[in-house]
């Protein structure tokens, strides 16, 4: 499952495609949420763009979104504080 609850946070399994021509959410493949970002994967720009994109899309402050695992990989584990998986899926328009 691409979203799971842990304590008062939700962990999202994401596959990030940096330097993409479009920015948005793609399909769920291999239990990972595919996210396309315009930012290049240089000096943490794609990671910052991912946090900004998710915080805006989910409707939480950037400080409540953090990359737990995969800071230098396309496959990332992202924590979102204060939101349940169902809320995140509904806000992003994705089914669990």
The model's pLDDT over 23-47, given as tens digits with 9 standing for 90+, comes to: 999 999 999 999 999 999 999 999 9
5-18 pLDDT, tens digit per residue, is 999 999 999 999 99
* Boundaries of every domain in the chain: 3-92
**Rounded CA gap, 96 and 85, in Å?**
8
**pLDDT value for 73:** 96
pLDDT higher than 90, residue 96: no
Superfamily of domain 3-92: YggU-like (3.30.1200.10)
> Where would I find the H helices in the chain?
45-58, 85-92
User: Tell me: the pLDDT tens digits for 64-85?
Assistant: 999 999 999 999 999 999 999 9
State the Cα–Cα distance between residues 88 and 59, nearest whole angstrom: 9
Q: Which two tokens stand for residue 86?
A: 């169902």
Residues in the chain, total: 96
Q: What is the CA radius of gyration of the chain?
A: 12
């Amino acid at each position: 499952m691409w979203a799971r609850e842990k304590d008062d946070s939700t962990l999202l399994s994401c596959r990030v495609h940096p330097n993409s021509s479009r920015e948005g959410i793609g399909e769920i493949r291999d239990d990972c949420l595919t996210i396309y970002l315009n930012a290049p994967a240089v000096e943490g720009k794609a990671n910052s763009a991912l946090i900004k994109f998710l915080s805006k899309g989910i409707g939480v402050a950037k400080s409540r979104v953090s990359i737990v695992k995969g800071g230098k990989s396309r496959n990332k584990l992202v924590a979102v504080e204060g939101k349940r998986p169902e809320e995140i899926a509904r806000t992003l328009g994705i089914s669990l």
